[in-house]
């Protein structure tokens, strides 16, 4: 962010806080008026008394609400900036099925209230917020619009307001009325503030950022399948009187429904015949299958087979209405296994797909057979599927070798980093030429690290260099560093002549001990011998020393892997992964989540992809579908396995380069069933936000 943008951005934030101080009392006045007007229109005495209580309580807490909201809003803006878009305010995209199951009743109610307020405010202020987002993204230095980088967005404002109100010692029903009656006025105030701030930024010369328009994928529709009586339609999932609200879904998950009234219960017994429980479970199963059927990452035939399992899954839900939420339930595990394996294929012509699809169809047929033993069929079918998808013995052996190899590589590279730091800590290290420093912190650190690892167990590989090879490889440092300094070596030719043979011999021996390629080290030896020759021939001791290390940039220590290790683990060289001339993925293929959002989420959490993630990676000139099956303990080495069992490994640096250059793209970083259930939780939230 340049100076002018910084000034404009800071001025905008100051104006936003000033504007908020102005409109907050105005909003409270409008809320009070709305409550008062409502009092005169309601007929019931109880409702009228409740409105009077809400209004009088608001009068008593008015000043505290104002001061707390302004304080929390200013704090939330700074937190959002520090987190580069993160905020404590809940967003629709963050609600997960698992999280809902762990919530308490009060948390669920707060979440419902938040959803309703956000929807009303969004309807009122969305147009002005969209315009402000383009300017706020631009002034922060983003070429493309990033709505989450706007620290003044509605989620931040509403989150601060909810925090201010929830911290008051007032009846939750009163708080709920404030939010319900004040949402429209709040949206109007934010609409005016956003428009005002946009005019201010425009007047300061800020030009709006653009939107990243993604070309629609050219996806050919598969041949239409025969119509099934169990076909899922939107109407069958969510009708006009859908029961799928956040509160109902939460009560279903925790098994805490009441037998009468609005909360019928199965009393925690999954086998209850309660109609409400069965209906809710059926809605979840139907919605889940609908989401799976729409998931273009799965092959069409597999999606259709899963849809055809609907009668069996609905029957199971009648006796076990929470099977889909239990990750250890055989039926849930079967769905997870089928969908996860289906992600391994990009085409129905891929090797291995036909027998897999045939087996999945066999599972569906086994489940559709009538009988009271349906629940007991799932464990057997799961076991058969798991066994059939297991790696062949030779593939399992190759994968085991790859993992063992990469563990050794990480251990050596991490030890080499510590060795390099030991070298840098020497007082004479800074005085030698950069080529020598880079050699010592690169290949030679690997040599010493391997020698320490190879020492007998009676020695400490981490701390002690007392093993014979490790000792020789560190003992040459004084002579190597001294002989590389022209000003020093030229003053003592006899010593120079004496140490050169031993230094060169030990260097060759050390590099050979790790099979370091001679063609990669030859340039260093030529330079080193040139330094020695210059020191021997010079007659002037007043040689200008090289600039100190602070003036010369050293390259980061690159992880190194032995050629045999590379072969055993399917290693992809970092130099190849850094190339920008290789093909890359375009944003034209269907994904359940926007790829830009996934990359931003990964960057925000400062993490690479997690084990279990499916990716497409450019390899040998074509895209390859693979799954991350192992990551080293310190996340410096990663092992991917393709559908055919082939291993592919890379360093963290190589992985980051592939991601940055769009040559590796995440296909699924969550389970297909998990994503479908998360979408159900979000739909329940939306349904709740539409309630009265």
Q: What is the rounded CA–CA span in Å between residue 348 and residue 342?
A: 10
Average pLDDT over residues 597-615: 65
Phi, psi of 632 (to 5 degrees): -65, 160
Is the distance from CB of 90 to CB of 681 less than 8 angstroms? no
87-121, pLDDT tens digit by residue? 444 555 567 888 787 787 777 777 777 778 888 89
Same domain, 20 and 151: yes
Same domain, 381 and 403: no
**Domain-terminating residue out of 551, 575, 600:** 551
Same domain, 370 and 508: no
Higher pLDDT: 331 or 599? It is: 331
Q: Inform me whether the pLDDT recorded for 589 exceeds 90.
A: no
Same domain, 355 and 466: no
Beta carbons within 8 Å of 515's beta carbon, 6+ residues apart: 562, 563, 564
641 strand-pairing partners:
627, 647
Same domain, 68 and 145: yes
In this structure, is residue 225 part of a structural domain?
Answer: no
pLDDT recorded at residue 1: 58
pLDDT recorded at residue 493: 87
In this structure, is residue 687 part of a structural domain?
Answer: no
Higher pLDDT: 393 or 309? It is: 309
Q: How confident is the model at residue 478 (pLDDT cuts 50, 70, 90)?
A: very high
Q: How confident is the model at residue 80 (pLDDT cuts 50, 70, 90)?
A: confident
pLDDT recorded at residue 663: 87
Q: Token digits for 584?
A: 């890359």
The beta-strand segments (E) located in 99-170 are none
Long-range contacts of 393-398 (CB under 8 A, 24+ apart): 395/645, 398/645, 398/647
Q: What is the rounded CA–CA span in Å between residue 418 and residue 407?
A: 17
Phi, psi of 628 (to 5 degrees): -75, 110
Q: Token digits for 232?
A: 């899922």
**Domain-terminating residue out of 354, 372, 391:** 391
In this structure, is residue 319 part of a structural domain?
Answer: yes
Average pLDDT value over all residues in the chain: 82
**Nearest in space to 118 (alpha carbons), one of 553, 425, 110:** 110
In this structure, is residue 212 part of a structural domain?
Answer: no
Same domain, 113 and 144: yes
In this structure, is residue 163 part of a structural domain?
Answer: yes
Q: Token digits for 603?
A: 């960057």
Q: What is the rounded CA–CA span in Å between residue 465 and residue 529?
A: 27
Angle at CA of residue 114, ends 680 and 34, nearest 5°: 135
Average pLDDT over residues 587-612: 55
Q: How many domains does the chain have?
A: 4
148-166, pLDDT tens digit by residue? 889 999 999 999 999 999 8
Q: What is the rounded CA–CA span in Å between residue 306 and residue 337?
A: 12
Same domain, 383 and 400: no
Average pLDDT over residues 534-557: 53
Same domain, 515 and 417: yes
Task: Using alpha carbons, list the distances in angstroms from residue 394 to 71, 246, 320.
Answer: 63, 49, 40
pLDDT recorded at residue 309: 95
In this structure, is residue 462 part of a structural domain?
Answer: yes
In this structure, is residue 213 part of a structural domain?
Answer: no
**Domain-terminating residue out of 531, 551, 571:** 551
Same domain, 332 and 361: yes
Identify the H or E element spanning 308. Answer: helix 300-308
Q: What is the rounded CA–CA span in Å between residue 336 and residue 223?
A: 26
pLDDT recorded at residue 537: 82
Residue 665 belongs to a domain with what CATH number? 2.30.30.140
pLDDT recorded at residue 592: 46
Same domain, 385 and 521: no
Q: What is the rounded CA–CA span in Å between residue 471 and residue 302?
A: 61
Q: Token digits for 424?
A: 């840098």
Same domain, 31 and 153: yes
Same domain, 519 and 622: no
Phi, psi of 432 (to 5 degrees): -100, 160
pLDDT recorded at residue 509: 94
Q: How confident is the model at residue 517 (pLDDT cuts 50, 70, 90)?
A: confident
Domain, as residue range, for 371: 243-258+275-391
Higher pLDDT: 227 or 605? It is: 605
Which range (226-240, 364-378, 649-663) has the least confidence? Answer: 226-240
246-278, pLDDT tens digit by residue? 888 888 887 765 444 444 444 444 444 477 788
In this structure, is residue 387 part of a structural domain?
Answer: yes
191-223, pLDDT tens digit by residue? 999 999 999 999 999 999 887 654 444 433 333
């Amino acid at each position: 962010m340049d100076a002018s943008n910084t000034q404009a951005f800071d001025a905008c934030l100051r104006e936003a806080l000033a504007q908020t101080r102005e409109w907050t009392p105005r909003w409270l006045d409008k809320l009070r008026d709305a409550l008062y007007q409502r009092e005169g229109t309601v007929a019931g005495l109880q409702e009228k008394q409740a409105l009077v209580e809400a209004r009088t309580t608001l009068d008593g807490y008015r000043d505290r609400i104002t001061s707390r909201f302004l304080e929390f809003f200013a704090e939330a803006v700074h937190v959002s900036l520090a987190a580069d878009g993160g905020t404590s305010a809940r967003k629709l995209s963050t609600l997960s099925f698992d999280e809902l199951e762990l919530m308490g009743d009060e948390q669920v109610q707060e979440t419902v209230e938040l959803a309703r307020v956000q929807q009303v405010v969004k309807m009122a202020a969305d147009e002005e917020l969209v315009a402000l987002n383009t300017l706020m993204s631009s002034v922060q230095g983003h070429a493309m619009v990033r709505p989450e980088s706007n620290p003044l967005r509605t989620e931040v404002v509403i989150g601060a307001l909810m925090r201010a109100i929830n911290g008051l010692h007032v009846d939750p029903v009163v708080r709920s009325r404030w939010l319900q009656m004040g949402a429209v006025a709040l949206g109007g105030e934010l609409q005016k503030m956003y428009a005002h701030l946009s005019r201010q930024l425009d007047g300061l010369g800020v030009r709006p950022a653009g939107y990243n328009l993604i070309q629609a994928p050219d996806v050919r529709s598969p041949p239409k399948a025969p119509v099934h009586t169990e076909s899922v339609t939107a109407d069958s999932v969510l009708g006009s009187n859908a029961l799928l609200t956040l509160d109902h879904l939460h009560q279903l998950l925790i098994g805490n429904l009441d037998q009468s009234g609005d909360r019928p219960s199965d009393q925690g017994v999954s086998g209850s015949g309660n109609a409400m429980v069965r209906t809710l479970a059926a809605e979840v199963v139907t919605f889940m299958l609908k989401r799976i059927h729409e998931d273009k990452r799965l092959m069409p035939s597999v999606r259709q087979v899963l849809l055809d399992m609907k009668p069996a899954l609905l029957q199971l839900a009648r006796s076990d209405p929470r099977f889909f939420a239990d990750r250890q339930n055989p039926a849930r595990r079967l769905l997870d296994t089928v969908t996860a394996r289906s992600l391994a294929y990009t085409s129905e012509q891929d090797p291995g797909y036909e027998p897999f699809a045939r087996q999945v169809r066999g599972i569906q047929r086994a489940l559709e057979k009538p009988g009271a033993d349906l629940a007991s069929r799932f464990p057997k079918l799961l076991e058969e599927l798991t066994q059939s998808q297991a790696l062949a013995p030779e593939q399992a052996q190759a994968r085991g070798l790859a993992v063992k190899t990469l563990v050794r590589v990480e251990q050596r590279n991490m030890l080499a980093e510590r060795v390099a730091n030991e070298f840098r800590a020497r007082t004479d290290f800074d005085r030698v030429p950069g080529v020598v420093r880079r050699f010592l912190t690169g290949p030679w650190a690997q040599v010493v690290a391997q020698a320490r690892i190879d020492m007998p167990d009676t020695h400490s590989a981490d701390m002690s260099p007392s093993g014979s090879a490790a000792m020789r490889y560190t003992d040459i440092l004084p002579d190597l560093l001294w002989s590389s300094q022209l000003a020093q070596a030229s003053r003592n030719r006899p010593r120079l002549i004496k140490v050169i043979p031993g230094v060169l011999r030990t260097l060759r021996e050390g590099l050979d001990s790790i099979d370091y390629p001679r063609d990669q080290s030859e340039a260093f030896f030529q330079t080193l011998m040139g330094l020695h020759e210059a020191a021997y021939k010079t007659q002037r001791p007043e040689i200008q020393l090289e600039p100190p290390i602070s003036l010369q940039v050293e390259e980061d220590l690159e992880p190194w892997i032995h050629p045999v290790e590379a072969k055993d683990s399917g290693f992809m060289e970092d130099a190849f992964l850094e190339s920008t001339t290789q093909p890359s993925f375009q944003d034209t293929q269907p994904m359940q989540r926007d790829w830009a959002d996934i990359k931003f989420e990964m960057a925000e959490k400062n993490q690479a992809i997690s084990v279990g993630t499916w990716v497409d990676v450019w390899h040998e000139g074509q895209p390859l579908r693979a799954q991350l099956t192992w990551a080293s303990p310190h996340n410096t080495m990663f092992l991917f396995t393709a559908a055919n069992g082939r291993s592919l490994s890379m360093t963290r640096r190589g992985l980051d380069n592939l991601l940055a250059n769009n040559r590796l793209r995440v296909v699924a970083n969550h389970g297909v069933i998990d994503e479908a259930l998360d979408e159900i939780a979000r739909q329940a939230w939306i349904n709740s936000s539409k309630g009265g």
